[in-house]
Structure 1
Amino acid sequence: MGKLKVIKTGPAASIQDFGRFGVRRYGIPQSGAMDINMMILANKLVGNEEDFPVIEFAMMGSKMEALEESIVSVVGAESMLNGKKMSNKSFEMVPGDQLEVSTPAAVYGYIALAGKIQSKVDFDSSSTYPPAKFGGINGAPLKAGDILESKGDGRSKKEYDHPEIRPEPDVEITIMKGPEWEYLKELPSNKTFVIDSSSNRMGIRLIGELQCDYREIKSSAVVPGIIQLPPNGQPIVLMNDCQTTGGYPRIAKVIKEDLGKLAQVKAGGKISFNTI
């Protein structure tokens, strides 16, 4: 068990787990950690189950104070405990200890607390989705003054070493053909795209026009990874907080295994597609 108090954090810090499944027919987004692999690693470092809630943060770092003895891990950013740089392993905090976490090296970083973080649970998930006030602390992003408390202990303190996380300037993403693939006049794999700065948890906007025989479709089901093509030809990759239906052609879908890799490409970074 453990308890941390948020001293300061950015607007994109929230509690996330694997997300909500089986409820899209009700118009409820999946949500969940944008980089599942990094979330799992953070949990492993403190001996948690893979799907335990973690703190996801982006764009800015955080500062927290321990209110009880706690075992903590930080993945995707540098961490300082009482001014001392910590290694890529879990570490112990005692009451009064101050943890400072830097801006993520890529886009998203994760903090895990040994035990299960207590939060609001909606549709079997603690994932924060602010528009519906689902999950997290009162369904909202984390803010100064919030208390994060975990119940139970990690199975044991783990000593997993992991490589330093560095943003990749050029990333290849694997896609499969979507229902409206035949609308395209050129192959996505023949072009390079740039991540637009307006990208977020709902969708990643790509700069780089794709020629297509554009036709609106009836509002149809979409899931994270679907690549929509609006009339301007600039693709949008739907991400975890995306809507459940849409009327833009669904030209392709990013494979599940590459969604985390795509989420970690910074604005201005370049991506290319490999079609299977």
Structure 2
Amino acid sequence: MIEILSASALATVQDLGRLGALRWGVGTSGAMDPLALAAGNLLLGNDEGAAGIEVPVFPFLARFTQDCRFALTGADCAAQLDDRALLPWWVHEARAGQTLRLGVPQPGPIPACRAYLCLAGGVDVPVALGSRSTQLRGAFGGLDGRALKRGDVLQAISPGLGKGAGSAGIGLVPPAFCLPLLVDGAAAMRVLPAAEYGLYTEASLRSFWSEPWKITAQSDRYGYRLAGPSLAARQPVEMRSHGIVPGVIQVPPGGQPIVQMRDAQPSGGYPKLGTVIEADLWRLGQAPIGSQVRFVETTWDEAVAALDEVEGWLADVRRLVGLHGATGGR
């Protein structure tokens, strides 16, 4: 009920991830900004983990082939439905034949680079290993295990223009404004020191925490390669491959760190300097290529408290949607 018109969108179908499959050597995949996806689903009255479309390259064009409610979250892309401007982080209604256009993400105090298009009931693609997420390297999940291309048609599980929860006329303040974390004007992420942290020189560790890091063009859903001060170990480090998860910060011999992202492989042999906490991975997932980020040292207790903050924001969204539904969308 939605036809992709973009020639090379690099968009993929993602849900909240393929959890529990690391033991089989299968990475998690899932939305780079899980808060945006969950919020879009909640706005529509969907299950929070329903699959949506993650859009990282713009412009993105799609045509609705039947009436459908949808929500746009993530980056503000000056979206239009035919010639009508659409609010970000909002529920909208499309009629059959209308065209949705997502433009280049708008500049702002907290830049974002990925938009999420959620459809009523979620995007209906087959479940693979417990998830609808696209795993590009393994070529499974999503739609035929690949990025979407012109001519692809995706179905919504519950298309139509329903009433109550999920009807048009409800929106949200983005979490970047409700849960801000900036250092010297740059997006910041909290990091727990990891197993090989103590192997690096004091000067390198000071630089890691005090200097900005640029997200290079060699970054994607697998990992963000950063450019900044060279991080040096006290002595050469040789390790066997071992388990890693999204958020782990590895340091190759060249001294420029790599942050593992949602499509990260489940094992690697570079030393681990730290781990971006789960509560802040969405911030990194929205940091644009070429932008600078900062890292803030944190503790286990602070990392757990940060997860509570994120859950608190989602709980507020659930209450808002519930109140809207209780009043019949008035």
Per-residue deviation, 1:26 = 1.3
Measured at CA, do residues 9 and 111 of structure 1 come closer, stay the same or move farther in structure 2, by a change above 3 Å? Answer: farther
Provide, for residues 204-241 of structure 1, a one-character-per-residue CA deviation record: whole Å limited to 9, x for no partner: 01101112223021111100000000001000000010
Q: Which moved more, 1:259-268 or 1:51-60?
A: 259-268
3-state SS of 1:131 partner: coil
Q: Please name the residue that 2:260 is paired with.
A: 238
Q: Which 4+ stretches in 1 moved above 6 angstroms? A: none
Q: Quote the Cα distance in structure 2 between the aligned partners of 1:11 and 1:73.
A: 19
Give yes or no for contact 2:43–2:166 (8 Å, CA) kept in 1. no
CA distance in 2, matches of 1:71, 1:55: 14
In the superposition, the TM-score normalised over structure 2's length comes to 0.78
Residues matched between the structures, number: 273
Contact 1:44 1:50 in 2 (8 A): yes
Displacement of 1:190: 2.8
* TM-aligned CA deviation for residue 59 of structure 1: 2.3
Residue 101 of structure 2 corresponds to residue 81 of structure 1: no
Partner residue of 1:157 out of 149, 155, 167? 167
Compared CA separation, residues 163 and 125, structure 1 to 2 (3 A): closer
Shift of residue 78 of structure 1? 2.1
Letter in 1 for 2:8: G
Distance 1:179 1:204 in 2: 20
Partner AA of 1:215 in structure 2: V
Residue matched to 1:90: 91
Structure that is richer in strand per residue: 1
Matching residue of 2:13: 15
The correspondence for 2:214, drawn from 187, 194, 206, is 194
Q: Which runs of 5+ in 1 are unaligned?
A: none
Aligned Cα RMSD in Å? Answer: 1.9
d(CA) in 2 for partners of 1:270, 1:7: 32
Aligned to 1:180, which of 196, 201, 209? 196
Q: Secondary structure at the match of 1:233?
A: coil
Structure with the bigger percentage of helix: 2
Q: Does 1:207 align with 2:227?
A: yes
Q: 2:288 matched to 1:266? A: yes
More displaced, 14-23 or 41-50?
Answer: 41-50
**Match for residue 26 of structure 1?**
24
CA distance, structure 2, for counterparts of residue 44 and residue 222 of structure 1? 31
| 1:250 aligned residue | 272
Q: Quick check: 98-107 or 201-210, which moved more?
A: 98-107
Residue 125 of structure 1 corresponds to: 131
The answer for the alignment partner of 1:141 in structure 2 is: 147
- Please tell me whether the aligned partners of residues 79 and 85 of structure 2 are also in contact (alpha carbons under 8 angstroms): yes
| Range with bigger deviation, 196-205 or 103-112 | 103-112
TM-score w.r.t. the length of structure 1 is 0.93
Deviates most, 67-76 or 221-230: 67-76
Answer yes or no: is 1:53 the counterpart of 2:73.
no
Q: AA paired with 2:81?
A: L
Matched-pair contact (CA < 8 Å) for 2:68–2:95: yes
Shift of 1:120: 2.4
Q: In the TM superposition, what is the alpha-carbon distance from 1:247 to its structure 2 partner?
A: 0.7
- Give the conservation status (yes or no) of the 8 Å contact 2:41–2:122: no
Distance 1:190 1:126 in 2: 39
Of residues 99-108 and 34-43 in structure 1, the stretch that sits farther from structure 2 once superposed is 99-108
Contiguous gaps of at least 5 residues in structure 2: 107-111, 299-330
* CA distance in 1: counterparts of 2:70 and 2:137, whole angstroms: 29
- Deviation per CA, 1:66-115, whole angstroms, max 9, x where unpaired? 11110011122221111110123211111111111113342211001011
Specify the code of the residue in structure 2 equivalent to 1:39.
Answer: L
Secondary structure of the residue that 2:137 maps to in structure 1? helix
